[in-house]
Structure 1
Amino acid sequence: MMPFLNVFRRIGGAFDVDDQGIRFWHPGGTLRAIALETDVHPGFMTDWQQPLVVALTQTRGLSIIHETVYENRLGFTDALVRAGAQIQTYRECLGGSPCRFGRANFQHSAVISGPTPLRAGEITVPDLRGGFSYLIAALAADGRSTVHGIDLIYRGYERFSDKLDALGAAYKMP
């Protein structure tokens, strides 16, 4: 978890770690844009990239994500763009080094411009990680969102309702 925690701190976030888990928050001030490449352990894992992209929509400036592990991991950004995020995806390697996708036709780099307010809307959970990111975006958005397929998230995250309650989220299960 240290690579994720260090990146979260670098953009201006804060966290506490205790026996119950990790509590994240924004201590105030401007969130900072970053450039980041995903990697296998012990690097910044690709599974952490999707929730981070949501956070980067709220940073000041241009952030760059270069996905080097999974060829189709940035497909979830389309729904964030519909919610108001300013994200452009690219086939080129925008990181510090070329990766195995550099000569392929995969959108594997993204530039996120922020901060941008996110709008509420209808969201369909495509998969566990993308869906979790959509839920984070819905919680950050102005207005009321409807999230379909949330059962995928409940199967993948322990005590998820308790976590939503702790955030003060208003929700209704189908």
Structure 2
Amino acid sequence: MSSFRVEGGHQLNGEIIPQGAKNEALQIISAVLLTDQEVVIHKIPQIRDVLKLIDLLEDMGVEVSKNGGESCTFKAANVNLDFLNTEDFKDKASALRGSIMILGPLLSRFGTGRMPKPGGDKIGRRRLDTHFVGFQKLGAKFNYDSKTSFYTVDGTNLKGAYMLLDEASVTGTANIIMAAVMAEGLTTIYNAACEPYIQQLCKMLIRMGANIEGVGSNLLRIEGVKSLNGTEHTLLPDMIEVGSFIGMAAMTKSSLIIKDARIEELGIIPETFMRLGIKMNFKDDDIHIPAQEHYEIDSYIDGSILTIADAIWPGLTPDLLSVILVTATQARGTALIHQKMFESRLFFVDKLIDMGAQIILCDPHRATVIGLDRAYPLRGITMTSPDIRAGVSLLIAAMSAEGVSTIHNIDQIDRGYQFIDDRLNALGAKIERVG
């Protein structure tokens, strides 16, 4: 198990370019299964989850050609469905939560799909009902074998249908869209997720020949087509990485320029960090965070403390709440962090408390952060990363702390952030990969 040894107290300076979006990549790469023609994808993040998905597709018979840099050409002309019945598939697919995204394309194009219970972050229950209920609305027959932990779906002769999703799940919406694009007739999806990554998927599918209306809204209408063509697609910058860099700059009193951030696609992320008192300047598509000795948390008009909560788009993505929480620990003022979606995602705060942060964990979903205004700097400790987002939050805390910290289980961080130690060391950080 690899670890980071982090020497805190070093300011960063310079420019950094965000990687391609992890959450977009998983669904876009899965979508190559919808056609037997070539699909070229640019700005693919070189992170474990994405590379594992590409490896899985190769095992299924998809031809993958690396074009240099972060671009690949995919051609799914000879998909081997028998591979879905192998132990190798079970082992690889169960180790990757993003593997669930191949089910929709498999049902749409081949009428069948199998999937072991997928893995991923240990952040509480993450149910898959939205995916499977959507498939069933399209006429698929679903079976779960509790002994083998395998989902089997028969999607022969899918037909369009009206459905009202019980939750605006991003991955659920993406999977249902991909299942519906070649289903016979009209599919209407109400309460659909409408994040930029869903919009990107829809725009890609439209270029491939799909008939989709309502892109950007929570009401999608999809008229099934017979087949789809190849296309070329460029992933958005990862909004979670952009937010992580903003929090990192504030915590380490650094001057940082985030290049090519696609600001118009970030929603309220910049505004949320500004409510923590973090200054930033926008020029073209770049975000400049100047070095700040202090930053003060905003309060409501009536004087009550600020509450920052996750919400469906265009609300704040839950993936950034861990970063916002750690950033608030050195602000001036108090904030309530409300993580609504996952009941275990705030459990990493015990490490921050050990580092000297003043945090009250109210319940599994809420934590009150009392900002120290740098009066008492965090101190380096040894800790373990429980998931991707908590992992990078602990890294931010360690970079701002006095002394040396060791972070174990950094494979979790590598799942979501490419070459993060090398990229940050180039800006002045002191991060050593050990083990």
What is the TM-score when the length of structure 1 is the normalising length?
0.80
- Provide the rounded CA distance (Å) in 2 between the counterparts of 1:151 and 1:78: 20
Question: Which piece of structure 1 moves more, 38-47 or 132-141?
Answer: 38-47
| Percent of pairs with identical residues | 36
Q: Distance in 2 between matches of 1:28 and 1:54?
A: 16
1:95 maps to what in 2?
none
Instruction: Give 1:24 shift.
Output: 4.2
Aligned to 2:417: 157
> Residues of 1 paired with 2:285 and 2:394: CA distance?
24
Instruction: Sort the Cα spacing of 1:58 and 1:50 in 2 relative to 1 into closer, same or farther, 3 A.
Output: same
Change beyond 3 A, Cα 1:169–1:75:
same
Q: Secondary structure at the match of 2:361?
A: strand
2:428 is equivalent to residue 168 of structure 1: yes
CA 1:41–1:160: 2 relative to 1, 3 Å: same
Between the aligned partners of 2:283 and 2:342, the Cα distance in structure 1 is: 31
Structure 1: gaps spanning 5 or more residues = 92-106
1:109 aligns with 2:366: yes
Given that 1:125 and 1:148 are in contact with CA atoms closer than 8 Å, whether structure 2 keeps it comes out as yes
2:391 and 2:355 map into 1 onto residues whose CA distance is: 14
Task: List per-residue Cα deviations over 1:35-92 (Å, max 9, x = no partner).
Answer: 212112111111110011011001112211122222222111111111111111113x
User: Partner of 1:122 in structure 2?
Assistant: 382
List alignment gaps of at least 5 residues for structure 2.
Answer: 1-265, 299-305
SS of 2:268 mapped into structure 1: helix
Q: Which piece of structure 1 moves more, 125-134 or 21-30?
A: 21-30
Which residue type is aligned with residue 408 of structure 2? H
Aligned length: 159
Larger radius of gyration: 2
347, 355, 358: which one aligns with 1:83: 355
3-state SS, counterpart of residue 425 of structure 2: helix
2:296 aligned residue (4, 7, 31): 31
CA distance in structure 1 between the aligned counterparts of 2:340 and 2:297, rounded to whole angstroms: 23
Q: Please report how far the alpha carbon of residue 22 of structure 1 lies from its aligned counterpart in structure 2 after TM superposition.
A: 5.2
Q: Does the 8 Å CA contact 2:421/2:433 hold for their aligned counterparts?
A: no
Q: RMSD of the alignment, in Å?
A: 2.3
Measure how far apart 1:16 and its partner are: 5.4
Q: Is 2:328–2:335's contact at 8 Å kept on the other side of the alignment?
A: yes
Structure-1 residue corresponding to 2:267: 2
Higher RCO (CA < 8 A, seq sep 6+): 2
Deviations 1:110-163 (A, max 9, x none): 111111421101021111111111000000111111121223212311231333
Does 1:53 find its partner at 2:318? no
Does residue 63 of the first structure (1) align with residue 352 of the second (2)? no
Change (3 A) 1:24 1:131: farther
SS in 1 for 2:432: coil
